[in-house]
């Protein structure tokens, strides 16, 4: 089944769709430059992502809606849960925040990829009280705006949908005033692993320039994959890049989701998206981390990294 899906994706991405859009002869013309070839590769990764979504849903993985990271990687059928503890994100001992009260962020814009779709999906979270909007409101948020899309990267586009930079730029142009929560990076790490342009530092800056100095919390990420574009060994670099970005952007705080997420919270066949328990924890911990990052007293957390304050079994 995996081989069939991969071949189908390649056929559509490299043959059928180019012929449909450009005609038979134009579809077989090679990109004139190396840059053209580099830009084409991430599109294939995103194409696999959407295909992986179909496979995940077909197998009953309802939480994998949106499919930004459900890639049918060749050889990705390794033992689920092979990674039991995340690698350290940065040298030194992290400072864990206590359980917070309320946040000064009364209005929040949540911008995410498919790992955020389950935060509001009835298929993943049947109980409305478990969803991210309800969790934000528990810590004092009164208005929640969302722009969440599967297969979303900061730079590359999937099916002409707005990318991460487009999404936050739209909020800025519409005069948004409040706090941002950014849950992006999965597809950027994957795209860079196959040759995409723009570094993680550049991608983060593309988003942050549109926050206009408003409080912003960005999530680190982790997968359980050991091969393919979404293999976890690429994700500590995202954590490092985000911490470096705090030096350039004083309004940025980084929620170290990577250090809190548990192996058992992942869908076993997907290893990127989450079970119902995983999404319950993700929603709750994002809201608590926001209250730690930007507490009601108006003074942002003194450190770049923030945490939910919850232990694994809470």
Mean pLDDT score, 146-154: 97
DSSP string computed for 59-119: TT-GGGTT-SS----TT--S-TT---SPPPSSSSPPPPPPP---BS-SEEEEEE-HHHHTT
User: Comparing 21-30, 148-157, 255-264, which segment has the lowest mean pLDDT?
Assistant: 21-30
- The pLDDT of residue 101 is 84
Give me the percent of the chain exceeding a pLDDT of 90: 66
- pLDDT at 76 > cutoff 50: no
- The pLDDT of residue 298 is 83
Bridge partners (DSSP) listed for residue 216: 180, 252
Mean pLDDT score, 215-238: 98
User: Comparing 30-39, 110-119, 163-172, 209-218, which segment has the lowest mean pLDDT?
Assistant: 30-39
- The pLDDT of residue 94 is 41
- The pLDDT of residue 10 is 56
User: Comparing 58-62, 99-103, 135-139, 185-189, which segment has the lowest mean pLDDT?
Assistant: 58-62
- The pLDDT of residue 4 is 53
- The pLDDT of residue 69 is 37
List every span in the chain annotated with CATH 3.40.50.1110.
107-306
The Cβ-side half-sphere exposure at 314, using a 13 Å CA radius, reads 9
Mean pLDDT score, 6-10: 56
E-assigned strand segments in the chain: 107-112, 143-148, 179-183, 216-219, 252-255, 305-306
Please give the CATH number for the structural domain made up of 107-306.
3.40.50.1110
Mean pLDDT score, 169-180: 98
Per the prediction, the chain carries an average pLDDT of 79
- The pLDDT of residue 32 is 38
CB neighbourhood size of 8 (10 A): 14
- pLDDT at 174 > cutoff 50: yes
Helix axis angle, 2-11 to 34-58, nearest 10°: 140
pLDDT tens-digit series, residues 176-215? 999 999 999 999 999 999 999 999 999 999 999 999 999 9
Q: How confident is the model at residue 312 (pLDDT cuts 50, 70, 90)?
A: confident
Helix axis angle, 200-208 to 186-193, nearest 10°: 150
- pLDDT at 261 > cutoff 70: yes
84 phi, psi to nearest 5 deg: -100, -25
């Amino acid at each position: 089944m995996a081989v069939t899906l991969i071949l189908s994706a390649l056929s559509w991405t490299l043959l059928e769709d180019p012929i449909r859009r450009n005609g038979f002869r134009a579809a077989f013309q090679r990109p004139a430059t190396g840059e053209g070839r580099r830009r084409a590769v991430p599109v294939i990764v995103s194409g696999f992502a959407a295909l992986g979504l179909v496979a995940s849903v077909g197998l009953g993985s309802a939480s994998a809606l949106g499919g930004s990271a459900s890639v049918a990687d060749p050889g990705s059928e390794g033992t689920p849960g092979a990674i039991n503890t995340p690698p350290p994100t940065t040298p030194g001992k992290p400072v864990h925040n206590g359980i917070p009260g309320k946040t000064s962020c009364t209005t929040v814009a949540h911008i995410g990829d498919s790992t955020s779709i389950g935060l509001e999906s009835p298929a993943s979270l049947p109980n409305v009280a478990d969803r991210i909007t309800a969790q934000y409101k528990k810590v004092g948020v009164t208005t929640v705006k969302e722009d969440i899309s599967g297969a979303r990267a900061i730079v590359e586009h999937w099916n002409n949908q707005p990318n991460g930079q487009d999404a936050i730029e739209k909020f800025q142009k519409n005069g948004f005033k409040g706090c941002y929560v950014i849950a992006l990076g999965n597809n950027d790490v994957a795209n860079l692993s196959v040759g995409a342009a723009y570094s993680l530092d550049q991608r983060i800056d593309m988003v942050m320039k549109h926050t206009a100095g408003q409080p912003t919390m960005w999530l680190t990420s982790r997968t359980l994959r050991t091969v393919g574009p979404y293999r976890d060994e690429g994700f500590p670099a995202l954590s490092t890049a985000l911490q470096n970005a705090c030096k350039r952007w004083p309004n940025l705080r980084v929620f170290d989701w990577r250090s809190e997420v548990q192996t058992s919270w992942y869908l076993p066949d997907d290893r990127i998206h989450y079970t119902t328990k995983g999404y319950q924890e993700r929603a709750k911990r994002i809201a608590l981390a926001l209250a730690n990052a930007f507490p009601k007293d108006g003074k942002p957390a003194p450190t770049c990294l923030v945490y939910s304050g919850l232990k694994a079994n809470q």
